[in-house]
Amino acid sequence: MSAPTRRHWTGIKHVLRYLRGTTDIGLFYSSESTNAQSIIGYADAEYLSDPHQGRSQTGYVFTCGGTAISWRSTKQTLVATSSNHSEILALHEASRECVWLRSVIHHIRSTCALPSTTDTPTILNEDNATCIVQITGGYIKGDRTKHISPKFFYTHELQKS
């Protein structure tokens, strides 16, 4: 700000043109939706999306009232040894985000004196049947799961509480 250049001025004009051109684009929230108060999450993983580094892709999205409120897509930091392993890692990341979202919503509702919805569970959707069975049952060390760290079964602990 002390020594702006033509590059800065060009950047400012670019941002202002973008804002003027996108005034009708946005996320629209409706209180008339049947599940307007509940959060619904979707988690998925793509096994070995980067075969050169052995990394899988994780993605999740959370909606409230049918509109996205939080989403992420990133390469996993660990090398998954199976498609089930990569799905468990994705579900673990989505669970952590879910806990954070619920705490933020609880804080906003308590600050604004709105009724709390913490007693309603959050639905987290996953498309891998084996992953669902393993998370539902909790960590069981066996031939097919011995390479998966027990900490990634955090989602199972959340189900019990």
Q: Residue ranges per domain, the chain?
A: 33-160
Please work out, in degrees rounded to the nearest 5, the angle formed at the alpha carbon of residue 160 by the alpha carbons of 115 and 59: 80
State pTM to two decimals: 0.70
Domain 33-160 -> CATH class? alpha beta
* Residues 86-143 pLDDT 10s: 888 898 899 999 989 989 988 988 898 887 766 788 889 999 888 788 777 766 666 5
Which residue spans within the chain are E strands per DSSP? 39-50, 55-64, 67-75, 123-126
